[in-house]
């Protein structure tokens, strides 16, 4: 992910409602008030749209401080993935229904939690949503999850999970 995508991702996570999202001049003012350091609205716009890519370490530090992310977020793909997964969870928990579901799950047995996860994963599959791993990232695709369609006996192979047994 490039700097413009990372910065856009942070802005969207902090201001998910586009109608209430501050403009770049207002965002620059908020950054100035929060960090005591200056960055212009025009420069923010240029960074976010990818028109400017030359950014100093000091400017990245200002952005990292304002958004509460490690400086490495802007330069390290692994750190960026981890932070994005955490931000995605934080944004999801803003939804009252998601938060309500999570709170109601508190205290349930491990078996009940496993059953709920199975149900949620199945609903996500039915609604054609990407499956999510424990880290908040899409799970890697395994070949056995997608048997070849040209094998008429693929369901009957005993080495495949869920295969019919004779």
How far apart CA 4 and CA 34 sit, in angstroms, is: 21
Residues 6+ apart with CB under 8 A from 50: 2, 3, 4
**What pTM value is reported for the model?**
0.62
**91-114 confidence digits (pLDDT tens):** 888 888 888 888 888 899 999 999
Neighbours of 80 (CB within 10 A): 19
Residues 6+ apart with CB under 8 A from 120: none
Domains and CATH numbers, the chain: 3-75 (1.10.260.40), 95-138 (no CATH)
Would you place residue 135 in the very low, low, confident or very high pLDDT band (cuts 50, 70, 90)? low
Least confident of 1-15, 22-36, 64-78, 83-97: 83-97
The torsion region of residue 138 among left (phi > 0), alpha (psi -120 to 50) and beta comes to: beta
Residues 6+ apart with CB under 8 A from 22: 15, 30
User: Among 23, 17, 73, which residue's Cα sits nearest to residue 48?
Assistant: 23
Exposed e or buried b per residue across 40-73, where buried means at least 16 C-beta atoms within 10 angstroms of its C-beta = ebebbbbbbeeeeeebeeebbebbbebbebeeeb
Least confident of 7-11, 12-16, 145-149: 145-149
The torsion region of residue 121 among left (phi > 0), alpha (psi -120 to 50) and beta comes to: alpha
């Amino acid at each position: 992910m490039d700097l413009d995508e990372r910065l856009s991702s942070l802005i969207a996570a902090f201001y998910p409602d586009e109608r209430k999202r501050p403009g770049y001049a207002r965002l620059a003012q908020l950054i100035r008030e929060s960090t005591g350091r200056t960055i212009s609205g025009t420069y923010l716009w240029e960074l976010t749209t990818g028109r400017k890519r030359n950014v100093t370490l000091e400017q990245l530090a200002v952005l990292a401080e304002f958004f509460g992310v490690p400086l490495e977020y802007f330069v390290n793909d692994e750190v960026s993935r981890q932070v994005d997964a955490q931000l995605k969870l934080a944004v999801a928990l803003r939804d009252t229904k998601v938060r309500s579901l999570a709170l109601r799950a508190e205290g349930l047995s491990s078996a009940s939690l496993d059953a709920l996860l199975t149900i949620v994963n199945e609903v996500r599959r039915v609604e054609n949503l990407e499956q999510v791993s424990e880290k908040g990232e899409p799970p890697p695709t395994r070949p056995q999850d997608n048997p070849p369609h040209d094998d008429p006996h693929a369901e009957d192979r005993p080495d495949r999970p869920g295969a019919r047994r004779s």
